[in-house]
């Protein structure tokens, strides 16, 4: 199971410089680079013709994760997470009369994967269009699938390189109780992170250039 969180840009640094700083801390711990990763998210809204007058259309997020190359994830805010095969993208094109792609809202995180003992860390730069918008950190404790059993261990490891920026327990952990953590739970966390970063863009962010 894992945690996905945002790390603020260090004072006086750019997004890229802050990512490099975190990478150096991980490497100093003894973490090894294990290739790259990517998570992307496209926003679809229900076509206006389908919405009841005066009612806001629902948003749906279609997401991909390089860890699961044969899968596509469709999520509603506060709703279910559908896991489908990669052909789901073709289906969305056919459903354009029902769901319209808000292309300007595409957001993604790309970066480097690190392995440290039983932990997998993905350090990513979040971009919208050509601009770096923030930093994502995903930390997965590979041997454990019951979220609440490993949160303290995850938190202790995150403190070793994130310092005071360790996040609170993810909301998906609270809803899992003793059930197994799934890839969909990671995607819900990325969706929440991307939406948070989108909202932050409504005000200028210092240190991003």
- If 0-12 CB within 10 Å is exposed, 13-18 middle and 19+ buried, where does residue 49 land? exposed
Per-residue pLDDT for 38 more than 90?
yes
Q: List pLDDT tens digits, range 85-121.
A: 989 999 998 988 888 898 888 999 999 999 999 999 9
Per-residue pLDDT for 67 more than 50?
yes
Per-residue pLDDT for 203 more than 70?
no
205 falls in which pLDDT band (50, 70, 90)?
very low
Q: What's domain 2-37+107-187's superfamily in CATH?
A: TATA-Binding Protein (3.30.310.10)
Q: Which has more pLDDT, 78 or 118?
A: 118
Distance CA 200, CA 179 (A): 33
pLDDT of residue 180: 86
* CA count, 13 A, side-chain hemisphere, 189: 27
Are 147 and 184 in contact, with CB atoms under 8 Å apart? no
Q: List pLDDT tens digits, range 133-145.
A: 999 999 999 998 8
Where does the chain show beta strands of DSSP type E?
2-6, 32-46, 59-65, 71-76, 81-85, 99-101, 107-116, 119-128, 131-141
Phi and psi at residue 120, in whole multiples of 5°?
-115, 125
Cβ atoms within 10 Å, residue 5: 20
Distance CA 23, CA 15 (A): 12
Please, where are the H alpha helices in 47-182?
88-94, 147-162, 171-176
Largest Cα separation within the chain, whole Å, is 58
Compute the average pLDDT of residues 16-43.
Answer: 97
Q: Which residues contact 63 (CB under 8 A, 6 or more apart)?
A: 39, 40, 41, 42, 72, 73, 74, 75, 187, 190, 191
Are 138 and 124 in contact, with CB atoms under 8 Å apart? yes
Q: Helix, strand, or coil here: 32? A: strand
190 falls in which pLDDT band (50, 70, 90)?
very high
- If 0-12 CB within 10 Å is exposed, 13-18 middle and 19+ buried, where does residue 22 land? buried
pLDDT of residue 157: 96
Q: Where are the domains of the chain?
A: 2-37+107-187, 39-105
């Amino acid at each position: 199971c894992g945690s996905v969180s945002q790390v603020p840009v260090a004072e006086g640094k750019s997004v890229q410089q802050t990512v490099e700083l975190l990478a150096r801390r991980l490497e100093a711990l003894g973490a090894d680079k294990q290739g790259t990763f990517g998570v992307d998210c496209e926003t679809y809204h229900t076509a206006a013709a389908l919405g009841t007058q005066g009612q806001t259309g629902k948003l749906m997020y279609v997401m991909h994760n390089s860890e699961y190359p044969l899968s596509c994830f469709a999520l509603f805010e506060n709703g279910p997470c559908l896991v489908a095969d990669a052909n789901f993208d073709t289906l969305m094109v056919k459903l354009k009369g029902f769901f319209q792609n808000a292309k300007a809202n595409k957001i993604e995180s790309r970066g480097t994967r690190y392995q440290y003992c039983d932990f997998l860390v993905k350090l990513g730069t979040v971009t919208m269009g050509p601009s770096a918008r923030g930093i994502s950190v995903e930390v997965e404790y590979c041997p454990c699938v019951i979220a609440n059993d490993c949160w303290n261990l995850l938190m202790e490891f995150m403190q070793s390189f994130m310092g005071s920026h360790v996040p609170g327990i993810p909301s998906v952990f609270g809803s899992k109780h003793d059930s197994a953590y799934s890839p969909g739970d990671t995607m819900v966390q990325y969706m929440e992170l991307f939406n948070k970063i989108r909202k932050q863009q409504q005000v200028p962010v210092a240190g991003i250039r």
